[in-house]
Amino acid sequence: MKNYIDAKNAYLSDHLGKKLEQPNRRINALNAIERFVKKNEPDLLTASKLFTNHTRQTFSMLYEKWKGSSLSGAEKSVIKGLFDFSSK
C-alpha cells in the first residue's frame, strides 16, 4: 500500500496525462480535500493512514461531514482515484 504522498503523486500524474476539458476542476477538488483533512485529522496524511484507517466509502462520508454538503463529482472522482492509486 502506498503512502498518501505517493498515491497523490500517482493520481496527479495520471490525471495530468489525460486530455480533459477542465483538468483544474479535479486539482482544485484535491486541494480542497487536502485542506479539510489537514484541518480536521492531519494524521491521515502521514504514511498510509488514510487508506488503512478508512475505506473509500467511509472517507467519503467523513469528508462530506467535514464539508457540510454533498460531494461534487470532482471530489468523488479524486477520492476514488486516491484510493485506487494507493493500492497500485
Residue type, 27: I
**What is the radius of gyration, based on Cα positions, of the chain?**
12
pLDDT digits (tens, 9 = 90+) for 29-87: 999 999 999 999 999 999 999 999 999 999 999 999 999 999 999 999 999 999 999 99
Higher-scoring residue by pLDDT: 8, 19 = 8
Taking phi first (over 0 means left), then psi (-120 to 50 degrees means alpha), and beta for anything else, what does residue 80 get? alpha
Task: For residue 17, count CB atoms less than 10 angstroms from its CB and return exposed for 0-12, middle for 13-18, buried for 19 or more.
Answer: exposed
CB 4 within 8 A of CB 44: yes
Read off the pTM. 0.93
Please count the helices (runs of H) and the strands (runs of E) in the chain. 5, 0
Q: pLDDT band at residue 20, thresholds of 50, 70 and 90?
A: confident
The pLDDT of residue 22 is above 90: no
